[in-house]
Amino acid sequence: MLKRLVVAIDGPAGSGKSTSAKLVAQKLGFLYIDTGAMYRAITFLAIKNNVLQNNDAIIELAKNSGLDLEFTNGETHVSANGLDITDKIRTQEVNVNVSDISKIEGVRKALVDRQRELAKKNIGVVMEGRDIGTVVFPNADVKIFLTASIDQRAIRRTKEYEEKGVHISLEEIKANIQQRDTIDSTRDVSPLVKAPDAIVIDTSNISIKEQVDVILNLVQQVVHKKE
């Protein structure tokens, strides 16, 4: 019988976080939480409400949008006050604006509170993002920091869009990822940094199975120690 366990997976866009986090959660029967989807949801709502330039209004959205995440059929379904917005959060317009929205301290505070609340739903959680091991769960049982070369990351994201029938050029995707990396890692509040006790896995040249196995082994080691 497992005791409560949190696996934190951080890293830049396209480093393999979602792919491995989903599979690790599935193998362990844990709850999977994609925190990027929440920042994307607030960005979509800010665009829709035409308040991209109004931080106070965006913070209100983060506090009062009743964000919910449900992971079904291999996909995170996002809703705001009961309305499904899953299809709206991965557009290029959201890609371009999401890092600026993520810099706002009040937005982060509201979403981190919600992330901690969502995590209570299960005995085991795999949460992925940029600040999970540093801010959201600094005492997480397993902390992973995934990296990969920029070219690999851009190729992966381009393929993901192609599979969904969305055609965005490799160059455009690469430029967006680079821009987001810069903003995400240099912002004042909860920047994307490796937690001192996180284990780095470079996924540029390893298979998905290998990434997942490394993480599962780390989780098993922690479980044995706890027993």
Which positions lie near ligand DC, rule CB under 6 A?
A: 13, 35-36, 39-40, 98-99, 102, 129-131, 180, 184
- Least distance from ligand DC to the Cβ atom of residue 122, Å: 18
In whole angstroms, how close is the CB of 177 to ligand DC at the nearest point?
9
Residue 137 phi/psi, 5-degree rounding, is -135, 75
In the complex, what is the shortest distance from the CB of residue 36 to ligand DC, in angstroms, rounded to a whole number? 3
- Give the whole-angstrom CA distance, residue 78 versus residue 211: 26
What tokens were used for 199?
């284990």
Instruction: CB nearer to ligand DC: give 13 or 215.
Output: 13
Query: Based on CB atoms, which residue is closest to ligand DC, 131 or 141?
Result: 131
Minimum distance, C-beta of residue 224 to ligand DC, in the bound complex (Å): 29
- How far apart are the C-alpha atoms of 155 and 205, rounded to whole Å? 13
Strand ranges of the sheet holding 75-80, from the earlier edge strand across to the other edge: 67-72, 75-80, 83-84
CA angle 70, 72, 77 (to 5 degrees): 45
Closest to ligand DC by CB, 13 vs 148, is: 13
Cβ closest to ligand DC, residue 204 vs residue 221: 204
Please, which residues bridge with residue 146 across strands?
Answer: 201
| Least distance between ligand DC and beta carbon 94 (Å) | 8
Nearest 5°: phi and psi at 123? Answer: -70, -25
Nearest by Cα to 143 from 29, 8, 24: 8
User: Is the Cβ of residue 152 or residue 223 nearer to ligand DC in the bound state?
Assistant: 152
